[in-house]
Chain A
Amino acid sequence: MFTSNPFAELSASISTVYMQGYIILMVLLVMGGTILDMMHKKSAQYFFENAKKAKKSAKRSVGGGEKVSIAASVLVNEVLTSGEFSNPRRRLSHLLTMWGTIIFIVTTAIMIFGYTAPGSATPDILPALWHIGALMLAVGGYWFWFAIRVDVAAEGLTWFRFERADLFILSLLATSTFALIWSFTGGGLSVFFVLFILSSTVLFGGVYWSKFAHMFFKPAAAYQKKITVADGSRENLPPDYDLTDPEVQRKFPDIPMYMGKNPPNMGLCIKAERANHY
């Protein structure tokens, strides 16, 4: 079961053309939803205006090579390994859901477009990856939903209280859960298949109302943040002073007067332990 292609069995009941058409329709829905979302929230406009403003207060210009290295570091650190999260639990959960979703969607598309024709044998690795992807998504997603979600973890609200903002995570969870149940109950045309298709349609069709589009503007925002550090504008944040620098000590005489000429490392203070009210 773990190595059988559920879409190959489904092709006996539903024509491959319809399955492929559904995938193309979902891609179009994601693209349309993302564009509508960008137009509604004016996120792209905000991003470019903010970048222009930051450029005005830049202290040095960033060269092309440096921009490429910043883009590469964003790709490795923020995009591929979710380095933006300082909380390791959030990072791990995000890695599981993100990579689970990617593996699940990519293998679905490959199996539907390449291995649903009668007589075509699906390589064992594809359905195995499809199941592993769905499982990763379910594990990371349920962990997030029940324990890590800020409403539960910080606001102390119950896990069963949800808002429209939860459309994305809930439809993701429903898609992976019903896909797994559908596969484990033998596949074919069943009630779980209907639920699987329904939840995936909500997932890809609800981009305008969900936070699905974050995967497009988050890397752009991370790149812009690193550019502001490189060009010295630092989003108007104060400089990272070296307290032992005589120039800093001359400009701010309180530092040597109260902390000495060579202030020690004062320790982690509040970062020594995680705040937890609930």
Chain B
Amino acid sequence: MPTFVYMTRCDGCGECVDICPSDIMHIDKKLRRAYNIEPSMCWECYSCVKACPHQAIDVRGYADFAPLGHSVRVLRDEEKGTIAWSIKFRNGKKDMELLAPITTKPWGSATPKLADVPAPSKEMRDSQLLFNEPKYIRMDEGGLHTLESNGLEIKKGVQY
């Protein structure tokens, strides 16, 4: 669902322009307010939604889940680590609320501290294994984890 800007809420601070990884958030030359110049190129990362200090950026829900005229509002809260959605149909019949985690650990705490790790030896450099393999893929627990090794099997057909 690509993003769009409510011009009446935007104050033209440029935070979304700075953060957009697709470089499609820009400032309207006449109105000095942000807008999404190419919604079809939107990655739907919602960085702009998160960065906007005035919640002036919303997402346009696809027509297959909410008919035109609806309201899909999103609130990403970094400190709580959640994303909350509020979906309201144009006839007011459906007013749905959703809440989901976007992180389970404090931001940055799971980043490998490579500076604290000893430099790899020549033997490690020449090895086929990548950094922290086999520990990270848990091969040290007895080979790769597969469906079979975990007593599972793929069922044929579409599973719901």
What are 17 of the A-B contact pairs (CB < 8 Å)?
A: A85-B13, A86-B13, A153-B14, A154-B17, A165-B29, A211-B32, A236-B86, A239-B86, A243-B80, A254-B101, A266-B81, A266-B103, A266-B107, A270-B50, A270-B78, A272-B107, A275-B51
Contacts A248-B99, A270-B51 given; does A238 touch B19 at CB 8 Å? no
Whole-angstrom distance from the CB of A198 to the nearest CB of chain B? 24
Tell me the bound Cα distance from A251 to B82 in angstroms. Answer: 14
Given contacts A90-B13, A259-B81, A271-B78, contact A238 B100 (CB under 8 A): no
Q: Does A63 contact B (CB under 8 A)?
A: no
A87→B71 CA distance, assembly (Å): 28
Q: Does B8 make an interface contact (CB < 8 A)?
A: yes
The 7 closest A-B pairs by CB, nearest first: A154-B14, A238-B84, A266-B81, A275-B18, A269-B78, A86-B53, A154-B17
B positions within 8 Å CB-CB of A: 8-9, 11-15, 17-19, 26-27, 29-32, 47, 50-51, 53-55, 71, 73-75, 77-82, 84-86, 88, 97-101, 103-108
For B30, the closest partner residue in chain A by CB is: A165
Question: How many residues of A sit at the interface, in one of the four size bands?
Answer: 35 or more
The binding surface of chain A is classed by DSSP as loop
For the complex, what is the distance from the CA of A271 to the CA of B77, rounded to whole Å? Answer: 11
| Cα(A243)–Cα(B100), bound, Å | 11
Q: Is the CB–CB distance between A241 and B84 below 8 Å?
A: yes
| A267-B97 contact in complex given A155-B27, A238-B74, C-beta closer than 8 Å | no
Q: Which of B11, B15, B27, B100 touches A254 (beta carbons < 8 Å)?
A: B100
CB-contact partner of B18 in A84, A90, A154, under 8 A: A154
* Bound CA–CA A76/B108 (angstroms): 37
Residues of A within 8 A of B101 (CB): 254-255, 258-259, 263
CB distance from A57 to the nearest CB of B (A): 8
Q: Decide if A259 touches B104 in the complex (CB within 8 Å).
A: yes
Interface contacts (Cβ under 8 Å), in number, total: 126
Q: Are A237 and B29 in contact (CB under 8 A)?
A: no
Docked Cα-Cα span, A41 to B144, in Å, equals 65
Q: Do B86 and A164 touch (CB < 8 A)?
A: no
Query: In the complex the two chains form, what is the Cα distance from A258 to B14 in whole Å?
Result: 34
Separation of A267 and B11 alpha carbons in the complex (Å) = 26
Interface: A231 (CB within 8 A):
no
Query: 13 new A-B pairs (CB below 8 Å) besides A266-B106, A272-B107?
Result: A85-B11, A150-B12, A150-B13, A150-B14, A150-B17, A221-B8, A236-B86, A238-B75, A241-B99, A248-B99, A265-B79, A268-B107, A277-B18
Interface residues of A in 214-268 (CB under 8 A from B): 221, 235-241, 243, 248, 251-252, 254-255, 258-259, 263-268
State in angstroms the CA–CA spacing of A211 and B139 once bound together. 64
Check B71–A236 contact: CB distance below 8 A. yes
With A155-B14, A252-B99 known to touch, is A238 a contact of B106 (CB < 8 Å)? Answer: no
State in angstroms the CA–CA spacing of A145 and B80 once bound together.
37
CB proximity of A175 to chain B, nearest CB, Å? 20
A237 pairs with B55, CB closer than 8 A: yes
